Amino acid sequence: MTIRKSHILYIPTWYPSPIDIQSGVFIQKHAQAAARHYKITVLFAYTANESYTNYKQDGGLKELITTFKKSRFSLLNKARLFLHYFQQFRKIKEVDIIHAHVWSNKTLFAYFISIIYNKPLFISEHWSGYQHHIGFMQIALMKLVFRRAKKILPVSNFLKNLMQRKSIKGSFEIIGNIVKKQQAKALKGEVFRFLIVADLRDEIKNISSVIHSFQELKINNCTLNIIGDGPDKSLLQSMTKSNNIQFLGRMKNEDVLTEIAQHHAIIINSRIETFSVVALEALAAGKPLIYTQCGGPTELIPSNSGFSIPIDNKKKLKSAILKMINDYQRFDPIKLQKSINDFSEEEISNRLKQTYSSILKL
């Protein structure tokens, strides 16, 4: 007799799709890890002018990615989202747990169906918005939704503390993102290659300061490549006057990992990060970092993994760039790689199994 695997429905706010292949890759990796032990269905929809449906199955993981038409009116847009999600949800059978990822209207949908069908609700959180002001009504709604969750799963203690400062209460458990190890080796060659991987939102990522620093330093035989896209791409390109700075656009995660392996060091100049997958992907490839003291990286990155600098400090950034070029050989790629053992797929898969099973056994 075949034993039925428990079925967990993922409802993410971010997920890789044709409009953004980088968005929510870390959530997809969680789904893949959980599918080692459970039947996982991911339900993700986004607005588009053209209808699109993609149903994909890989082992225990099913992905249902669809579109719905966007309205100019906010309330109508929310109604369409809820109706579309409910129509898709009705196609999914025998769900045991509903697991929302990242606060949004989609989390509200997960909350309502968890009540309607009397299913346990889990909420994972990656969002950095908890550092900003959130209106009274929104906070009241968030507190209501999170109170129902059997488990609240932020990716770092830094994010947990931000959430608790907003008076969000519940059973918290830290489950980080997944990082895959690569071949760790130091690079040689006359040209020193720096890399940034980020959404091009300068208010958060502060990429403009890195561009200005490179152009002011005027270092020979040194390049900066930038992977990603976003609302500030044109602005950042317009301030780039050096041929040694290149924008490579969006890339699939496997291509990003290839690029990381082909660079000497990674720069993270953010004003806030709740985790920073890129930082740990760099360490997984044995690459040292220049990173700001912006939350998650400070908590997760060992102090001997590169150069930590204050937020919004261009003088320290320029100094760290020069130090990295001059001191690169002192960083041992194998030692850097060992620092990310807690974030392997096997480790996170087992952590998810433990937290799900604690509820499924009740």
CATH number of the domain enclosing 22? 3.40.50.2000
Based on the domain organization, do 141 and 223 belong to the same domain? Answer: no
**301 in a structural domain:** yes
Per the structure block, which two tokens stand in for 46? 């986004």
d(CA 190, CA 174): 42
Longest dimension (CA), the chain: 70
For the whole prediction, is pTM greater than 0.85? yes
d(CA 206, CA 293): 13
Q: What is the pLDDT of residue 52?
A: 80
Q: What is the pLDDT of residue 215?
A: 96
Using alpha carbons, list the distances in angstroms from residue 108 to 25, 63, 129, 199, 296.
Answer: 22, 20, 17, 25, 26
Angle between helices 207-217 and 314-327 (to 10 degrees): 60
107 close to 13: Cβ distance less than 8 angstroms: yes
Confidence of residue 50 (pLDDT cuts 50, 70, 90): confident
**259 in a structural domain:** yes
Placement of tokens 């129902």 in the chain: 148
**184 in a structural domain:** no
Phi-psi region of 249 (alpha: psi -120 to 50; beta: other; left: phi over 0): left
Q: What is the pLDDT of residue 338?
A: 84
- By three-state DSSP, how is residue 267 classified? strand
Based on the domain organization, do 21 and 157 belong to the same domain? Answer: yes
Calculate the CA 159 to chain-centre distance.
Answer: 13
Where are the extended beta strands (E) located within 138-191?
151-154
Based on the domain organization, do 234 and 153 belong to the same domain? Answer: no
Taking 80 as the threshold, does the pLDDT of residue 58 lie above it? yes
Give the closest residue to 188 by CA, choosing from 332, 328, 334, 335.
Answer: 328
Confidence of residue 1 (pLDDT cuts 50, 70, 90): very low
Confidence of residue 255 (pLDDT cuts 50, 70, 90): very high
d(CA 119, CA 111): 9
The tally of domains found in the chain comes to: 2
Q: Mean per-residue pLDDT for 329-349?
A: 90
Q: Average per-residue pLDDT in the chain? A: 93
Taking 70 as the threshold, does the pLDDT of residue 185 lie above it? yes
292 close to 269: Cβ distance less than 8 angstroms: yes
**50 in a structural domain:** yes
Based on the domain organization, do 96 and 229 belong to the same domain? Answer: no
**187 in a structural domain:** no
Q: What is the pLDDT of residue 355?
A: 97
**74 in a structural domain:** yes
| Those residues with Cβ within 8 angstroms of residue 219's Cβ, 6 or more apart along the chain or in another chain | 192, 321, 322, 325
**308 in a structural domain:** yes
Based on the domain organization, do 96 and 201 belong to the same domain? Answer: no
Q: Mean per-residue pLDDT for 131-160?
A: 96
Based on the domain organization, do 218 and 287 belong to the same domain? Answer: yes
Based on the domain organization, do 156 and 35 belong to the same domain? Answer: yes
φ and ψ of 303, to 5 deg: -65, -20
Based on the domain organization, do 304 and 245 belong to the same domain? Answer: yes
d(CA 87, CA 66): 11
Q: What is the pLDDT of residue 68?
A: 86
Percent of the chain with pLDDT over 90: 78
- By three-state DSSP, how is residue 237 classified? helix
Range of the domain at 268: 192-341
| DSSP-assigned letter for residue 273 | B
Based on the domain organization, do 107 and 16 belong to the same domain? Answer: yes
Taking 50 as the threshold, does the pLDDT of residue 356 lie above it? yes
Per the structure block, which two tokens stand in for 271? 């004003």
Per the structure block, which two tokens stand in for 25? 């890759």
Strand 53-58 versus strand 151-154 pairing type: unpaired
Based on the domain organization, do 20 and 63 belong to the same domain? Answer: yes
Based on the domain organization, do 142 and 198 belong to the same domain? Answer: no
Q: What is the pLDDT of residue 362?
A: 54
Placement of tokens 């025998």 in the chain: 94
**222 in a structural domain:** yes
| DSSP-assigned letter for residue 18 | T
Q: What is the pLDDT of residue 187?
A: 80
Q: Which residues is 12 bridged to in the sheet?
A: 101
Based on the domain organization, do 70 and 205 belong to the same domain? Answer: no
Using alpha carbons, list the distances in angstroms from residue 68 to 54, 57, 74, 218, 353.
Answer: 13, 22, 14, 48, 33
